[in-house]
Amino acid sequence: MTKFEPVLLANVGKQDSHKLSVYEAAGGYEALKGVLREKQPVDVIELVKASNLRGRGGAGFPCGLKWTFLPKDHPGPIYMCVNADESEPGTFNNRILMEDDPHQVIEGTIISCYATRATTAYIYLRVEYPLCYERLEGAIAECYQAGYLGRNILGTNFSLDIYVHRGAAAYICGEETGLIESLEGKRAWPRIKPPFPAIEGVFRKPTVVNNIETMACVTHIARRGADWFKSIGVPSDPNNPRDPGSYGPKLYCLSGHVNKPGCYEAPLGITTRQLIDEFGGGVWKGRKAKAAIPGGISMGLLAESEFDLPLDFNGPGKAGCLGLGTAAVVVLDETVSMVDFLHNSCRFFAHESCGQCTPCREGTHWALSMLERIRAGKGRLRDLDLLLEIGDTIGIIPGTTICGLSDGAAWPIKNAIRKWRGEFEDYIKRTNPRGYMETNPVPALHQIAGAH
């Protein structure tokens, strides 16, 4: 890989990197000053659109385009919700940004609120991040004191308040409408869309929901320009009119069976193999890799033979995965049982399903009980087809659920069984040699003792 200068992680590791003085010494809040002095909100939206920044929360939706969905000339208030509820297993990039460089996130949030004319921003933070809470609260207090937040910011007519709102350990709060419901003080049941949050979001007002890393990217786009951002990453595919390209730096979280797990910054488009070899120090214990999760477990699985595909917004999809997701790469070495992996994955989604939609509530638990049965040595070969059938029917792609959680639950099932079917069959044959071919688990009436 050619030399790449990290920007999102540039301050990480410096002493007191979370403090305003350190951030300002490295040029912090100069971008905000420039924006407020020289640009109208519409100019900022155009800048972000020109950069082709795609949301870093998992879906990869173009950020500037999302902002344009807000109604024009709305009397307000308009709200900004910053999604800091990352709970996708394998993902921790937002935590690093909030703990080690919270001002970078706050500066991006202020710029984004100026662009969208939002007057209040809520950072919805997962409760499992106590240090982030402390650091964000500290940074926000420093901003009020320095005049970056509050009334008439830096002498302009722009006013903004930012509040941190803590969640209570529920994965579904990371879904944008689940987050909105939770912020309103209710159970985090996702809403049916439309109306989309841009039209009717939190407190029934126009709302933008953006991810923490997206906010950090906005800071650097405002500081360095759209052309700089577009000079990094992978251009759009000319053969795919729906591909807006994958531009900019990206935080990749590397965990699992690698020697050096961590959060690394690289251009979008780096491959799984490069990530493991150049950043992760190779697979641990000198073993070989068997598979990798490309971006949180909801994205599915890449086999080792697919490690040379680029980890951009389109790459993992070419290998039958859902997408790049959060770019949280989890490496599985050759000793990992795919039955165990899938059990872990199904257990997570069954636990985190909010229970609102029947296919998700029932389907995730059904898949989990089947995996529990297979692991307990009572599996049948036909279970694999049944699991695939569940995987193909529970998600939003056939239009059966309100949000994408069940889709996320389905992809690991579909990928694991389709790519490692032989391993599942061997496991079932080995652990249930007498019953693995059973086709009818219900005994016929004449087989029941006492029946005539």
Partner 1 sequence: MSTTTRVLTPEMIAAIQAFIPRYPNKQAVTLPALHIVNEALRYVPLEAVIEIAELLELAPAQVQDTLSFYGYFKQDQPHGKTRAWVCRSISCALRGGEEVLERLCQRAGVKPGETTPDGRLTVEFAECLGACEYAPCMLATHHGGQAELHKNLTPEQMESFVNRLPQ
Q: Is 128 in the site for partner 1 (CB under 8 A)?
A: yes
Nearest distance from C-beta of residue 293 to partner 1, angstroms: 7
Rg (CA), the chain: 24
Residue 329's φ and ψ, nearest 5 degrees, are -95, 120
Say whether residue 151 binds partner 1 (CB under 8 A). Answer: no
Rounded distance between C-alpha atoms, residue 7 and residue 328, angstroms? 19
Residue 215 amino acid letter: M
- Using CB under 8 A as the binding rule, whether residue 76 contacts partner 1 is answered as no
The site string for partner 1 over 163-202 (x = CB under 8 A, - otherwise) reads x-xxxxxxx----------xxxxxxx--------------
Footprint of partner 1 on 261-280 (CB under 8 A) = 261-263
Q: Rule CB under 8 A: say whether 328 interacts with partner 1.
A: yes
**What's the rounded Cα separation, in Å, for the pair 431 and 426?**
8
- Total residues at interface with partner 1 (CB under 8 A): 56
Question: Which of the stretches 13-21, 57-65, 126-134, 151-159 binds partner 1 when contact is defined by CB under 8 A?
Answer: 126-134
Please pick, from the candidates 54, 95, 103, 135, the single residue that binds partner 1 as defined by CB under 8 A: 95
Task: Tell me which of 47, 70, 88, 190 binds partner 1, using CB under 8 A.
Answer: 88
- β-strand partners of 303: 291
Which of 341, 411, 420, 424 is in the footprint of partner 1 by CB under 8 A?
341
The CA-CA-CA angle for residues 106, 330, 188, to 5°, reads 55
- Of 54 and 343, nearer to partner 1 (C-beta) is 343
Q: Which residue's CB is nearer to partner 1, number 53 or number 402?
A: 402
Residue 254 makes CB contacts below 8 A (sequence gap 6+) with 260, 261, 262, 263, 264, 275, 276, 279, 280, 329, 331
Rounded CA-CA distance 5/373 in Å is 49
Q: If binding is defined by CB under 8 A, does position 336 make contact with partner 1?
A: yes
Binding mask of the shown chain, residues 412 to 451, with x at each position contacting partner 1 by CB under 8 A: ----------------------------------------
Indicate whether 208 belongs to the interface with partner 1 (CB under 8 A): no
The yes or no reply on residue 86 touching partner 1 (CB under 8 A) is yes
Contact by Cβ (8 Å): 67, 182? no
Omega before 195 cis (within 30°)?
yes
Indicate whether 138 belongs to the interface with partner 1 (CB under 8 A): no
Candidates 137-145, 234-242, 351-359, 402-410 — which segment interacts with partner 1 by CB under 8 A? 351-359
Q: For strand 262-267 and strand 249-256, is the pairing parallel, antiparallel, or unpaired?
A: antiparallel
Binder among 81, 297, 322, 387 for partner 1 (CB under 8 A): 297
CA distance 93 to 105: 12
Is the Cβ of residue 204 or residue 318 nearer to partner 1 in the bound state?
Answer: 204
Which element (helix H / strand E) includes 303? strand 302-303
Residue span binding partner 1 (CB under 8 A) among the ranges 31-39, 216-224, 343-351, 378-386: 343-351
- String of contacts with partner 1 for each residue 308-327, x by CB under 8 A: --------------------
CB proximity list for 10: less than 8 A, separation 6 or greater: 26
Residues 6 or more apart in contact with residue 44 via CB below 8 angstroms:
35, 111, 114, 115, 222
Backbone phi, then psi, for 175, in 5-degree steps? Answer: -80, 135
- Cα–Cα dist 131/98, whole Å: 9
**C-beta of 420: minimal distance to partner 1 in Å?**
15
The dihedral region occupied by 76, where left means phi > 0, alpha psi between -120 and 50, and beta the remainder, is left
The token duo for 38 is: 């020289």
**CA triplet 380, 384, 389: central angle to 5 degrees?**
130
Identify which of residues 184 and 392 has a Cβ nearer to partner 1 in the complex. Answer: 184
Does position 119 interact with partner 1 (CB under 8 A)? The reply is no
Q: Which residues, at least 6 apart from 105, have a Cβ–Cβ distance to it below 8 Å?
A: 82, 97, 98, 136, 212, 215, 216, 219
Report the residue from 203, 231, 259, 438 that binds partner 1 according to the rule CB under 8 A.
203
Token readout for 44 is: 């900022």
Which one of 56, 223, 257, 380 is in contact with partner 1 (CB under 8 A)?
257
Pick the closer one to partner 1 by CB: 222 or 360.
Answer: 360
**Closer CB to partner 1, residue 161 or residue 425?**
161
| Minimum distance, C-beta of residue 256 to partner 1, in the bound complex (Å) | 5
Note whether 90 binds partner 1 by CB under 8 A: yes
**Contact present, 301 and 289 (Cβ < 8 Å):** no
- Which of 116, 211, 255, 415 lies at the binding interface for partner 1 (CB under 8 A)? 255
Binding-site ranges for partner 1 (CB under 8 A): 77, 86-92, 94-95, 126-131, 161, 163, 165-171, 182-188, 203, 253-257, 261-263, 293, 297, 328, 330, 332, 336, 340-341, 344-345, 347-348, 351-352, 354
